[in-house]
Amino acid sequence: MSEVADGTRFALASLAVWRVTHLLVEEDGPADAVVRLRARLGNTQLGRLLDCFYCLSVWVAAPASVAAARSRREVPLTWLALSGAACLLERATREPLAPGAETVDWKGLGNELLWKEAESA
């Protein structure tokens, strides 16, 4: 059997990292196994990790980077690249805002917004 090209291996690993991370963060899983796992972990450190796609993708990419890298020296860079690719895929596949929904432009906003919210609470 012929070797899989490096680009193909990276693309497949990127899709796999996105798929597993998306399953763990966003989906219920088969027989609701993943949603029950998230509920059981609750507000623990691991439970909070399962709430953040971007955080979890770093850890899901770790074993995939070993399979996708050509050599040991490439593993750290491949690890970060796979996580980054999964994050880009997540942003590209995220559902758009509902019609009429407003977005917030956070550029130029300082901490005064946080202080106002805290004072009104």
The residue extents of the domains of the chain are 6-95
Q: Residue 104: its pLDDT value, please?
A: 56
User: What element of type H or E holds 87?
Assistant: helix 75-93
Task: Give me the residues of the chain with pLDDT under 70, please.
Answer: 1-3, 97-98, 100-121
Q: Residue 121: its pLDDT value, please?
A: 55
32: left (phi over 0), alpha (psi -120 to 50) or beta: left
pTM: 0.75
Asked if 74 and 107 count as a contact pair (C-beta separation under 8 A), the reply is no
E-only strand ranges, 1-121:
none
Q: Residue 10: its pLDDT value, please?
A: 95
